[in-house]
């Protein structure tokens, strides 16, 4: 399966997971000059930007390990761009990461939800 199909599959799994937890999905694959936000959701009063990482093997490590310092900065800039674009500058917001491992049969082997995972330069793992 091609990587963009794996990514789209993971985003759909993450979306359903968040909706089951009571989140409202506001946007999918929102693009800006800084990059793309996989999912934008509402969790109560908080706007949540969600980076979804999906892997089909451990050849390149755990999915969440791919969130580098540069990626964190891009996510923060993309979140600020979304908030500005939507005139939501004074709202509560955070960036979450959902890491998904897909099994050989096409199911979810593991799903980890890291809440407020991108906060400055700290690592999420």
What percent of the chain has a predicted confidence (pLDDT) above 70? Answer: 84
> Which one, of 32, 21, 20, 14, lies nearest residue 78 by Cα?
32
- Give residue-wise pLDDT tens across range 10-43: 999 999 999 999 999 999 999 988 889 999 999 9
Looking at residue 6, its pLDDT comes to 83
Residue 13 pLDDT:
96
Residue 42 in tokens: 């509402």
Task: Report how far residue 63's alpha carbon sits from residue 44's, in angstroms, rounded to the nearest whole number.
Answer: 27
Closest by CA to 25, choosing from 13, 16, 33, 34, is: 16
pLDDT for 84 beyond 80: yes
Tokens of 84: 């500005």
Does position 70 have pLDDT exceeding 90, yes or no?
A: no
Q: Is the per-residue pLDDT at 93 higher than 90?
A: yes
| The CA-based dihedral angle spanning residues 27, 39, 73, 70, taken in that order and rounded to the nearest 10 degrees | -130
Model confidence at 106: pLDDT above 50: yes
Mean pLDDT of the chain: 86
pTM value is 0.88
Q: Are 21 and 98 in contact (CB under 8 A)?
A: no
Please tell me which of 30-34, 43-47, 54-58, 118-122 the model is most confident about, judged by mean pLDDT.
Answer: 43-47
Structural domains of the chain, ranges and CATH numbers in brackets: 3-114 (3.40.1350.10)
Q: What is the pLDDT of residue 125?
A: 42
pLDDT at position 55: 75
The 3-state DSSP class for residue 62 equals coil
């Amino acid at each position: 399966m091609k990587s963009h199909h794996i990514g789209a599959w993971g985003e759909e799994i993450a979306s359903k997971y968040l909706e089951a937890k009571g989140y409202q999905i506001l946007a999918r694959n929102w693009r800006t000059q800084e990059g793309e936000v996989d999912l934008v959701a509402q969790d109560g009063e908080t706007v949540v930007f969600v980076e979804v990482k999906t892997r089909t093997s451990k050849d390149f490590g755990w999915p969440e390990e791919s969130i580098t310092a540069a990626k964190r900065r891009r996510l923060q800039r993309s979140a600020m761009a979304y908030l500005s674009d939507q005139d939501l500058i004074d709202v509560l917001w955070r960036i979450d990461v959902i890491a998904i491992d897909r099994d050989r049969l096409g199911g979810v082997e593991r799903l980890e939800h890291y809440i407020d995972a991108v906060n400055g330069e700290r690592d999420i793992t």
